[in-house]
Chains A and B, each alone.
Chain A
Amino acid sequence: MSRQFRVRDVLLPNLDGALVLTMVASTAAVLLGALVQVRYGAYAMPFETVWRAMFDRAVWTNPQVLATILLGDGLAHTLGVYSDLSVLSDATAVVWTLRLPRVAVAAFVGMNLAVAGAIFQAITRNELASPYILGVSSGAGFAVVVTIVLSLGTYFLPLAAAVGGTGAFLLVYAVAWRGGTTPVRLVLGGVVVGTIFDSLQTGLFYFIDSNGAMRTAVSWLAGSLTGVGWMDVRLVVLPTLLVVPAALVAARQLDVLLLGERRARSLGMRVETMRFGLSALAILATAAAVSVAGLVGFVGLVVPHAVRTAVGSDYRKLLTGCLFAGPALVVVADVVARLGLGGIQVPVGVVTGLVGGPYFLLLLRRTESFNEF
């Protein structure tokens, strides 16, 4: 058996019409969103200029320039591939250093949240579970507000968010554990820990003294992509490279977990270990997204749900669909968040929430019973 064959068996889903359509439509949405995002803004330019900037030979034929853009000044210096970027034209600089990274971060955030949501929906056996169900959002939010109150510096925020989110998740597990866990106990544990951290966070708000800090805090809690750059891409890309293949490999475990706990156990699965491992994987994905974008809501809830309606509940397919549809939602939502209101940018989480609400309203109107997973 050749190695290639194995990789295909382990990672790739059986493509069918619905999945291919989801992938193609999502990719089209991402590309279209990216084009609009790059074209419009305070520095407006015609499409022709955008095109030229995107395929600027000063970038593509010069690996050092490309490396400096992608890796950042510091890292490029360290690796000895630094090149001065001031040689680039204005349009190229705007496209490459300001607008493209924002699209890339949006795509990675969507990807991670959608995958995390899909995993949590299997673990809790609840198709309306979100990546934040096990207290991650509250823990991360609390840690972020603490960082802001103590003025520890904004570059600490991603770390604080990841640590706070993971800490809350572990606390939820500790609360829910009684000789083992069950999905219901975990969800209730999430409610307990979430409630406490949310209260603490709200209380802490009164200790924020400057308007600017308040604004930072609010935009973090709502989930915003304003001002992200290649540094954020670098921050989110590493966990993503781990999460995506791991999730695809684990898809079969999720399928078996969905057959019910007793059945999974009788098939020889160490349910408790598997559930913790998969939760940890989903938390890593969530933390990666939260650390660069804050608490973008509804993506991890809506995307897996919508993809499941299209491709079915086979997790290899579902996760693959999520890898495409997640970026589509966040990239397009961020276009609206950045450009929709003219001069004022709103957090992207506000827009995803405004999309998510009506989606569930539609579902509520259309669906007779919610028993089918």
Chain B
Amino acid sequence: MPPTPHTDTDEPNRAADATDAAPADRVTDEDPVDSAALLGSGLQLGYGEGVVVDCEDIVVPEGEVTALVGPNGSGKSTLLKGFSAELDPTGGTVLLDGADVQTREPKQLARELGLLAQENDAPGGLTVGDLVSHGRYPHRGFLDPLDSDDEAHVDRAIDLAGVDHLRDTPLSELSGGQKQLAFVAMALAQDTDVLLLDEPTTYLDLHHQLRVMEVVRTLNEDRDVTVCVVLHDLQQAARFADYLVALDDGQVYDWGPPEDVVTETLLADVFEVDAAVTYDGEPRIVPRRPLD
């Protein structure tokens, strides 16, 4: 029985769930459903016939960094596609600020919810500055030029992502990490309250992995942006996120703060790895061997 976030409803089955969800109760005194930036309920997502994600309730709390973790094929990216309305759920709903993401105008949605996809192909001749200014797309009408407000947001995004010195550099001359920071800046220029990131650190060197995560952290702390990030690296997720959602085979296995979620049992059950997990302020995961 995967623990689901505590809910204060009169429905008996919900109440029963909440009793099981002991870890979630310790997390916060607030009702996580009330403070949810994103709430998926009864969500079924899939491609064609196959169902990839099938989970009862999933919450991305407002103003926090939530990481989706899980092995390959556990449905992390699919869930993100459901959140961003890229994928039409076959069942259930995704509520953003209390309203269904599917019913929003695309531009309206893009003003509230940003998505940094894994796709990184853009014309090589494009400069970082031009790329970032495309982040203002949802704020501009068909004929609107870039106004001073847009310029200010672009400047701020470039500054926050630390790519100021690369502003006039074409993308083809950037390293993978610099490129990713440029795309992060573009997503920042979108100026949304919620930001979804799909494995933003995969394929990056250590330096740029940390840079990207630092930018995300700053964004969350200084501007109160709700972040939901798919991370491959469990240790990284545990370090950076306030909450972890562990997915296993399209279902929520566990939900809560990292120290509650990242356990040796989780690693064995979900990741099929025999590992030692210790905490000294930060989680430390030492994988030993794969389990059959």
Contacts and interface: CB of A to CB of B under 8 A. Distances in A.
Q: Do A and B bind each other?
A: yes
Interface of A: 6, 9-10, 249, 252, 255-256, 258-260, 262-263, 265-270, 308, 312-314, 372-373
Given A6-B145, A9-B145, A10-B145, A266 B114 contact: yes
Nearest to B121: A260
Interface string B63-80: 000000000000000000
Contact of B111 (A6, A265, A268, A312): A268
Contacts of B61: none
A256 B110 CA distance: 14
Interface in B143-165: 143, 145
Contacts of B190: 267
A312 B142 CA distance: 23
B123 A249 contact: no
A249 B109 CA distance: 24
Contacts of B123: 258, 313, 372-373
B138 interface: yes
B86 interface: yes
A269 B122 contact: no
Contacts of A9: 145
A259 B236 CA distance: 28
B122 A260 contact: yes
A270 B122 CA distance: 19
Contacts of A10: 143, 145
Contacts of A259: 122, 131, 134
Interface in B11-40: none
B225 interface: no
A311 to B, nearest CB: 9
10 contacts: A256-B137, A260-B122, A265-B86, A267-B135, A268-B106, A269-B137, A270-B106, A313-B123, A313-B125, A372-B124
Nearest to B126: A313
B119 interface: yes
B106 A269 contact: yes
A262 B123 CA distance: 15
A122 to B, nearest CB: 9
Contact of B138 (A267, A314, A373): A267
Contacts of A258: 122-123
Interface string B185-217: 000001000000000000000000000000000
B172 to A, nearest CB: 6
Among A260, A262, A269, find the residue whose CB has the most chain B CB atoms closer than 10 A.
Answer: A262
Contact of A268 (B86, B107, B119): B107
A125 B111 CA distance: 26
Interface in B83-123: 84, 86, 105-111, 114-115, 117, 119, 121-123
A365 to B, nearest CB: 20
B119 A255 contact: no
B138 A268 contact: yes
A265 B114 CA distance: 10
A10 B141 CA distance: 11
B221 interface: no
Given A6-B145, A249-B142, A267 B121 contact: no
B90 to A, nearest CB: 13
Nearest to A249: B143
A313 B117 CA distance: 22
B233 interface: no
Contacts of B117: 260, 262-263, 266
Contact of B124 (A262, A314, A373): A373
B186 to A, nearest CB: 8
A258 B135 CA distance: 14
B130 interface: yes
Query: Nearest 7 pairs between A and B by C-beta?
Result: A268-B110, A9-B145, A268-B138, A268-B107, A266-B115, A313-B123, A372-B124
B143 A255 contact: no
A247 B107 CA distance: 21
Contact of A372 (B105, B106, B107, B172): B172
B138 A260 contact: no
A263 B138 contact: no
Nearest to B114: A266
- The residue among B108, B110, B125, B138 with the most chain A CB atoms within 10 A of its own CB is B125
Given A265-B106, A266-B117, A313-B125, A256 B138 contact: no
Contacts of A6: 143, 145
Interface centre among B109, B119, B123, B135 (most CB of A within 10 A): B123
Contacts of B108: 268
Most buried by B among A266, A268, A270: A266
A345 B134 CA distance: 49
A262 B119 contact: yes
A255 B121 contact: no
Contacts of A252: 137
A268 B172 contact: no
Given A268-B106, A268-B137, A313-B125, A263 B142 contact: no
A301 B255 CA distance: 54
A270 B107 CA distance: 8
A255 B145 contact: no
A313 B142 CA distance: 20
A249 B117 CA distance: 27
B143 A256 contact: no
A217 B138 CA distance: 49
Nearest to A271: B106
A256 B126 CA distance: 11
Contact of B134 (A255, A312, A313): A255
